[in-house]
Structure 1
Amino acid sequence: MKKQQFFWLIFILLSIVSGIFAFDFYSQNKWINCVLFSLVGLVCIILAQTSALSYIQKTEKLLLAIQKKDFSLFPKTEENGLVDNAVKLYYQSKEEHLSLSSYQLLYEEILNQLEIGLMILSMKNDDWEVFYVNPIFLEILEIPKYNSWNLYENKASDFYQIIKQTNYENSQEFFDISINENTKQSFSLRTKKVQNVKNRFCIISLESVQKIIEQKEKLAWNNLMKVISHELLNTLTPVNSLIQNLEYIANQEIIEKEDQQDMKESLMIINSKSKQLLNFVDDYRQVAELPKPVFKTISISNIVESSLNFLKPEFEKKHITIINSLENHLISADEKMIERCLINLYLNAIYAVSDNVERTIKTEIKTHNKRIILSVEDNGTGISKEIQDKIFLPFFTTRSNGSGIGLTLSKSIIEAHKGYLNYKPLEQGSRFEIWFVE
């Protein structure tokens, strides 16, 4: 038995014994003795209660500190089971709180280092609050930090309304907004809903389209140099070897018949490699020297129908079902260039569905946030995750007879029209989206 419990038991026993004696003296009408023993019993009860209450109060103090996350105390064990368990719980909670704070600090530091604007909204009492926002996000929108989401309605109303229109669900948008009444800028916006039984969050990422393009251009340029170097080496290395062999034969005084045959074969190979190199340069020229578009007001649905009619024999030959959902919209564009882009997308879709039993290509025209979206969707094999970020690179292809410039040209054509060409993977198949300004 612990010391405190022993004393508490002694006080209780003394109070009981004192009560018995007080009652006995009361029966004998010995009033003074009765009063004395009654007082002794009362004092013992008070001491026992005080001792018990002190432990309860210490326990309550520790539990309240845990509840309020006040870990500035340094309590010690006191050989009392209730208090000792409370002390253990306190230090355990303190350890978990410090670990959580360390992880939170680490995660915030990582998020602060991102070059993408990031804001996390948290639902509380049917209202959204700002759970976290990194400096890049505030820098992009040129606004101060607020804890209440509703305050952003006045400071960045266009952005606030776009987020509101997503209903705080999963979405991906491209939009133009004017910041502090300056020239409009284009941004890529993504929202992601995260929810469990207790909490609901909305993660918003924001990135300047111009910055994305600059990064992509740098990456594309590096990859292009690798492709060009690879192609030149593959072509010129065997040609150089053959030329050395021809030089050796030419320096002989007598050229035998076998050597003449070798010279003939070598020249044929050099000729073939030269043509291959010329074709490569011609493909590169098409990408590098894209003509300026001649803008006219045209019907986008008419361009779709014209492209489909051009490839109609191919669709019928491959037994491909064509599905159209076309809203009629007018755009300012170069009709021939847009048609060329569409034909490239349709040819890719035809190749993608070639191994299917049921082959479907769907074209859709719709509007969203003052943008016209033209999408070409197929139910083919899709594009593997490993190469999705490479499909727009010049000369990248997975086909044995492909040039690797179709998607690159298409992307360049749409960008020349101040639009975007995006790829979206589907559960079965692929979808390419062309975004035009309305």
Structure 2
Amino acid sequence: MRRSSSPVKTLTTTVSPASNRSKWPYERRVMAWLLFLALPGLLFAAITLWVLQAPWGAWLFGWFPVAILSIVIAQIARNRAAYPLRTLANLVEAIRQQDYALRGVAGSSPSAMFELISEINALSEDLRRSRFERVEADLLLAKVVAELDAAVIAFDDEYTLTMINPSGAALFAARSNDLLGRPAESLGLEEYFDYRTPQVMQRTFPGKQGKFRIQASTYREAGVRQHLLVLTDLSLTLRQEERLAWQRLIRVIGHELNNSLTPIQSLTESLANLLDREPRPADWDSDARAGLKVINERARSLGNFMSSYAQLTRLPPPKRKLVSISNLISGVAALVSKCSIDIEDHPDIEFEADSAQIEQLLINLIKNANEANRAAGTDGSVVIRWQRTAAGMALEIVDHGTGLPDSGNLFTPFFTTKSGGSGVGLLLGRQIAEAHGGHIHLYNREDGIPGCIARVILPISVPLTDKKQVQAGENI
């Protein structure tokens, strides 16, 4: 496993000690400039007193007090110039230390310093508000991660564990604090960092075993790459879905068996009583033949039911090749020539698919749409149209029937609203679409005309990872 780190670039400014010592502090330079401005006046006064040969009293009580007053004024100006800068330095230092409660007194007079201190105060308030929002967001995220059923585990760039939620700790039958700082290798997780796409596999951990959905990703914290693993236990969900599937299957099979076996049992008992009667009725042979015909029909119906169920369980993986949607629909229209079909003219689209399976899907949908038109007593044709979308290709089969009665049971195995229907057409079509990486959506028309639209979404090209999985499955 390769480890990489992002170097942090630091920009530095070098100042030579000699030049640093030669510069006066800002306050001394301010005072020096003020004294330099007062120096011409003091020199002029001194020269005047010297030329006029003024007495020492003029020097003592005139020139010297003015010189001292100049020094005092320069000192006062120095302090007043340095005070706002010290205030700004304290404010900036507080911001650097992430103390956003400190505020500077800007005063009431509008000036450049007033505007600068006001802006720094506003910056501190914005940073304080942003920090509170970030802290609240972090607390919310921590709460959400802690409540997740999936194991969320974070590692630093050295693959050392830095964060784990309670579900992750339960996975290893340990406390979170005891797992922090442990390397991924000691936990048996080092191979999972390559799972950039979700992988479902059987795994055993110290605290749990079963089927897990595993996915790895990366993120950055303070500019340094971190690693994240999410392990979702699918065992309980799969067991619940499996139990519900068995319950639905047993209910449907039991219903179908009862529909066939009950009349068969009644007819066999009637035929047995008929044969035991002496003398037999004159038309007993016609009654026996009628009873045997019903038994034969119910047995054939039961055989068709089992064949339909076997068809659902024997759908092979699609053998993809480049297919033209225009040619495919033209071929399907020829196969269902008894149906009235209106094919809209759209630009041709080539996509990768198993043409035989897609034909079966379209035949089922077209027949359903045609039967819906007949049931509604309309003369409208089945409309077929397609277009390229962001998800791939959208293919729509539109009818002029009465619409969907109950969309909740459309894909329930062997559920049908048609007399003589098998209830497997839509379910088989959905399996074909999902095997191609697409899906089917049925909904009522929204253009004010009664009817239903069957929308099939299929990818135009197959991702490389899916191709590898298909090839691996074929090799097996």
TM-score after normalising by structure 2: 0.44
Richer in strand (by share): 1
